[in-house]
A = this chain, B = another copy of it.
Amino acid sequence: MAEVRERRRGRGGGGAARRAERTAVRIEAAKYIERNIPDFEILTDEAIEIIEANADTLLEEIGVNFSENESALELWRNAGADIDGERVRIPKGLARQLCGTAPSEFTQVARNPDRNVVIGGRNLVLAPVYGPPFVRDLEGGRRYATIEDFRNFVKLGYMSKWLHHSGGTVCEPTDVAVNKRHLDMLLAHMTLSDKPYMGSVTEVERAADSVEMSRLLFGSEFVDANTVMTSLININSPLTFDSVMMGALEVYARANQAAIISPFIVGGAMAPVSVAGTLTQVLAEVLAGVAYSQLLRPGAPVIFGAFVTSIDMNSGAPTFGTPEAAQITFGAGQLARRLALPYRSGGAFCGSKLPDAQAAYETANSLNAGLLAGVNFMLHACGWLEGGLVSSLEKFVMDADQLGVLHKLAAGVDASENGQAMDAIREVGPGGHYLGCAHTQANFKDAFWRTDVLDYKPFETWSDEGGRATPELAAARVKKLLSDYQAPELDAGVRESLIDYVDRKKAAVPDAFA
């Protein structure tokens, strides 16, 4: 079982500190998952070789587009690629060779060093939902997200024991100007949480702001020497690298900040309808993207990303928690490990509009596949609803609770003498029961994963308490967490400098909403 770190935090000194100590909320935060179980490998060696050879063929014969990006084309030309307009054709073997300088694991530092995460290896780091323009909760229904919602999600993430990362765009704060909202989002992550966070990628300048604000938070020299952000660089599948995303990648890679290089694929639309075909395209795209990051700065920390879902051929809607998505998640993990790159995939994906059974089937299918596939960084690990259009407050805590299941499962089976429990079986014998035996007394507290949301009570008790379904139980937990929330300590001068930076940048240009 992952070590659980507890902290109590008061605010200020003297009597106030003692009063704060008495009322402080205990914040538990689990260490990132260190897997003690094998990976599930769905592809045969032969299939892997076919896919790798096909990806190389694709890169050489078809190539990829780097659009509106002269400097990228220049870098590729110098590296030995064949450039034809915006098309970059990469000789077989070159992309894989360039990927060789990327680290197989790296540390993303948090402002609270207890929250540092090591991404790669046998580890799994869990981060919340990213990107939805809408929020939903039981009380308010479905509506456009605001910065207030955003802050609530950051607070919930900070309070969630099994979540290791504060994430990025936990929802789109649509009440803040498009050209300024990244500032408020970063400020929220930096001040309301002490977990690691992601930078902005929607414009080069916003990526630069993310680096600047990180310098204020950590100190300039520290940021130069450490990775303090992991940001999401989507590939415009099929086989296209647009200049906005590449611009952000250029900022981050050159600053030695981490990037997830991630095809964004709805299978059947942006990739073939077959699993092997999709894996081939994913591999080709990641090879090209990671290779480019290493052309920008050899050694820049990057992650092999695969966001893959399939399409409902009747409606054209993306679908989640499907067997094809699971197969791709498993297979891409194998391909990533062959490249010795950290791997991003999986998440609490669902297509359902409500945090109902559909949502949970789809989510659990995705979470389980992600864990067993050997994912190292799981974005969208909680709160995702309606195909990513909605961040759900209730589903955030429901999913975050299930992340505890992943921690325990990943810890593997304890075959020590205590785990073997022969003394217990001898003590109890045929026909007895274990509830009171010495081994149970010594182990029951940590023996089983415990939910903070689900209901295990007898029917009558549950019925007397109102017969609540899961979203109602979750809503009560959301309310309690937000009411218990206390901001982690932050140096007042640092906080001022961050607020000042945001204010100045906001005042410098007019609002833009598109």
Q: Inside 8 A of A432's CB, which chain B residues have their CB?
A: 238
List, in ascending order, chain B residues with CB within 8 A of A51's CB. Answer: 415, 420
| Interface status of A497 (Cβ within 8 A of chain B) | no
Cβ of A230 within 8 Å of any chain B Cβ, yes or no, is: no
Choose among B274, B357, B439 the residue that contacts A272 (Cβ–Cβ < 8 A).
B439
Binary contact readout A232-269 vs B (1 if CB under 8 angstroms, 0 otherwise): 00001011100000000000000000000000000111
Tell me if A513 counts as interface (CB < 8 A to partner B): no
A62 and B425 in contact, given A271-B434, A357-B359 (Cβ under 8 angstroms)? yes
How many chain copies does the complex carry?
2
User: With the chains together, A368 CA to B367 CA distance in Å?
Assistant: 11
Let me know if A363 is at the binding interface, CB within 8 A.
yes
> Whole-angstrom distance from the CB of A1 to the nearest CB of chain B?
10
Chain A contact patch, size range: 35 or more
Out of B278, B398, B430, which one reaches A64, CB within 8 Å? B430
B455 touches A353 (CB 8 A): yes
CB distance from A53 to the nearest CB of B (A): 10
The residues of B that contact A354 with a CB separation of less than 8 Å are: 467, 469
Q: Which residue of B lies closest to A57 (CB)?
A: B422
**Cβ A414 vs Cβ B361 within 8 A:** no
Query: Chain B contacts of A409 at CB under 8 A?
Result: 323, 326-327
Partner of A364, one of B277, B312, B361, B430: B361
Q: Which residue in B40, B281, B364, B457 is a CB contact (below 8 Å) of A315?
A: B457
A327 touches B413 (CB 8 A): yes
**Complexed CA–CA distance, A234 and B424 (Å):** 22
Residues of the B chain whose Cβ atoms lie less than 8 Å from the Cβ of A413: 42-43, 47, 275-276, 279, 327, 331
Of all A-B residue pairs in the complex, the 8 with the closest CB atoms, nearest first, are A277-B421, A364-B364, A360-B360, A272-B421, A323-B408, A273-B447, A239-B430, A323-B409
The contact sample of 28 A-B pairs, CB cut-off 8 A, is A37-B42, A51-B420, A62-B430, A87-B430, A238-B428, A240-B431, A268-B440, A269-B435, A271-B434, A272-B434, A273-B448, A274-B414, A277-B419, A312-B448, A312-B456, A313-B447, A314-B456, A315-B457, A317-B458, A322-B405, A326-B409, A356-B356, A357-B359, A357-B470, A361-B454, A362-B454, A364-B364, A364-B368
